[in-house]
Amino acid sequence: MTDRKDELAANLAKVERRIADACAAAGRARDEVTLIVVTKTYPASDVRILAELGVRHVAENRDQDAAPKAEACSDLPLTWHFVGQLQTNKVRSVVGYADFVQSVDRSKLVTALSKEAVRAGRELGCLLQVALDAGESGRGERGGVGPGGIGELADLVAGAPGLRLDGLMTVAPLTGEYAGRERAAFERLMVLSTDLRRSHPAATMVSAGMSTDLEQAVAVGATHVRVGSAVLGVRPRLG
């Protein structure tokens, strides 16, 4: 193996062990949690190595970086998740490669995603990004809809041609009442997910937990964790 492949294999094994331990501690089966590796800022060659090592889900947060990477990796058996703040003028490009958009947070974006999904003849999985630092009806600093806006946005996605409502996503807030309280933040997301499933029973995905807090997310019931730096290394620049 190359040095990079060795390094990624070792990091992946560590993350896999952490997920397995967290599942065991919570009395959950390992297959209840899906690992999504966040490859943002890292090259297509790393994505290729990850696929060789058995990774099946990858995520990106900027279309400019993601579009060429997904193109270069289109021969690989990967599911692509878009997890970044998304401008409507990037929607056509993102719908070209993303299987899931986890950062749906406003009605204008739903309309644009629906239009492009229909145009492309695709069904796009959508997660609503919930901002837990926004107050009930505000918007998050880094995107996301406040808890009070979930119901209306969910109905909009569920009724939009080309879109499928799959669940909720959050990023542990750096400010507000949940700052430094990742587990409490993820518990709140689980409650919101339970509420959502009363009217949308198929929206079962709960995407929470990153490199530093995946254990807390798995402990409370997350179905998907999004792990970047613990697999690929500390990112060379902000992203």
Ligand X SMILES: *Cc1c(COP(=O)(O)O)cnc(C)c1O
Q: Residues 120 to 179: which contact ligand X by CB under 6 A? A: 171
33 binds ligand X (CB under 6 A): no
Q: What residue type is assigned to position 63 of the chain? A: D
The stretch among 25-33, 43-51, 69-77, 226-234 that binds ligand X (CB under 6 A) is 226-234
Distance (Å, whole) CA 18 – CA 100 = 25
Which tokens hold the place of 152? 């209306």
221 binds ligand X (CB under 6 A): no
66 or 230: CB nearest ligand X: 230
Distance (Å, whole) CA 153 – CA 28 = 30
22 or 162: CB nearest ligand X: 22
Residue with tokens 């703040």: 85
In this structure, the number of other CB atoms found within 10 A of the CB of residue 87 comes to 11
- Contacting ligand X (CB under 6 A), which of 61, 114, 216, 223? 61
227 binds ligand X (CB under 6 A): yes
85 binds ligand X (CB under 6 A): no
226 forms beta bridges with: 36
CB 15 within 8 A of CB 227: yes
The stretch among 4-12, 146-154, 185-193, 225-233 that binds ligand X (CB under 6 A) is 225-233
Distance (Å, whole) CA 169 – CA 146 = 12
Distance (Å, whole) CA 203 – CA 197 = 6
The stretch among 43-51, 68-76, 114-122, 227-235 that binds ligand X (CB under 6 A) is 227-235
29 or 238: CB nearest ligand X: 238
- Contacting ligand X (CB under 6 A), which of 15, 19, 22, 40? 40
124 or 127: CB nearest ligand X: 127
226 binds ligand X (CB under 6 A): yes
Minimum Å gap between C-beta 235 and ligand X is 7
Distance (Å, whole) CA 55 – CA 149 = 34
Rama region for 135: left / alpha / beta (φ>0; ψ in -120 to 50; rest)? left
Which tokens hold the place of 139? 């918007």
Contacting residues toward ligand X, per CB under 6 A: 38, 40, 61, 83, 171, 210-211, 226-230
